[in-house]
Amino acid sequence: MGPDDRTVPVALSARHVHLSPEHVEVLFGAGHQLTPMADLSQPGQYAARETVEVVGPRRSIPGVRVLGPPRGETQVELAITDGVVLGINVPVCLSGEIQGTPGVHLVGPRGAVKLRRGCICAVRHLHCTPEDAVRLGVHDRQKVYARFPGARSLIFDEVVVRVSDEFSTELHLDTDEGNAAGIRSGQRAEIVPSLCRDLCG
Domain ranges, ordered by start, for the chain: 7-11+124-199, 14-122
CATH number belonging to the domain at 7-11+124-199, selected among 1.10.600.10, 2.40.40.20, 1.10.3720.10, 3.40.50.10190 = 2.40.40.20
The DSSP secondary structure of the chain, one letter per residue, reads --TT--EEEEEEE-SEEE--HHHHHHHH-TT----EEEE-SSTT-EEEEEEEEEE-SS-EEEEEEEEES--SS-EEE--HHHHHHHT--PPEE-TT--TT----EEE-SS-EEE-SS-EEEEPPEEEE-HHHHHHHT--TT-EEEEEE-STT-EEEEEEEEEE-TT---EEEEEHHHHHHHT--TT-EEEEES-HHHHH--
Q: What is the pLDDT of residue 4?
A: 63
75 has pLDDT over 90? yes
Q: What is the pLDDT of residue 196?
A: 60
80 has pLDDT over 50? yes
Q: What is the mean pLDDT of the chain?
A: 93
pLDDT one-digit tens code per residue, 135-176:
999 999 999 999 998 788 899 999 999 999 999 999 999 999
